[in-house]
Amino acid sequence: MKFESLNRKSAPVSLREAVMQGLAPDGGLYFPDSIPAMPSNFFDDAALMSFQDIAYEMAKRYFVPDIPEAELRRITDDAFSFDVPLKEIEPDTYVLELFHGPTAAFKDFGARFMARTLGYFAKETGKEITILVATSGDTGSAVAHGFLNVPGIRVVILYPKGKVSPLQEKQLTGMGGNITTLEVDGVFDDCQRLVKKAFIDSDISEKRSLSSANSINLGRLLPQMFYYAYASARLQGRGKPVAISVPSGNFGNLTAGLIAKRMGAPIERFIAATNENSVVPEYLETGNYNPRA
């Protein structure tokens, strides 16, 4: 499988190159050139499988042969070492609890998997990798914890001044070690813009091997599809179609759900739920993109 820039101006690359680069040279996001379907009976069997087993079987379609199967199995088992409860809160309504990871954020799923993936690539290539990440709070906390003390990895986190909670700021700035945190006088999109600018700067790329841990990186995006598959497989035998409401900001989490559905997860529809952070709905309605904190 190859991975192509969504801007269509860069050559296709391998999974390893896509994850290590984070962003294509033309500024586009990498995406698989095709979405593989799981075997027809997989999601019937998945109702009785562990989260780690589902994650491993789905990940194989993208990460092998760049990562050997035995190593990929170790990565999935180690990354997802916490519970993922699916709880019924009223008849036919369920909540999938994604806050049982070490930083109590759903982003622990992608960050921990990506940290172990990049750690493997750093070891195999012998190159130190610098991770650049923009955050408005929970992304940075999950990335900092996930990558802390991973050999061959340095992490630089940018966050907007005054835009994260006191707890999140303590999580971001209290790690030390291979984690460096920078406060930016601006909003989240300013932080993201600086990260993207660094990726397409040839002088920087010649000196350092850069990657990103934001959802622009496939290494963090793809693992988020696992919990959609896990939940829908357990619900499909209840006799009613599965609809999933996804709290949405930049729609990366929802994108992972759509990939899971394309792979065969028994999901009928999605609901993209937004709050006052309604930049994407406003763009879809008006055609005007107005980023804000």
What is the rounded CA–CA span in Å between residue 115 and residue 191? 21
Of 9, 60, 107, 261, which one is the catalytic site residue?
A: 107
Strand extents, DSSP E, the chain: 3-5, 30-32, 86-90, 93-96, 129-134, 153-160, 179-184, 209-212, 243-247, 269-273
| 107 in catalytic set | yes
The radius of gyration computed from the CA coordinates of the chain, to the nearest angstrom, equals 19
| 69-79 and 108-125 helices, crossing angle to 10° | 140
In the chain, count H helices and then E strands: 13, 10
Instruction: Evaluate the CA torsion angle 14, 215, 220, 254 in order and state its sign.
Output: negative
Residues taking part in catalysis:
107
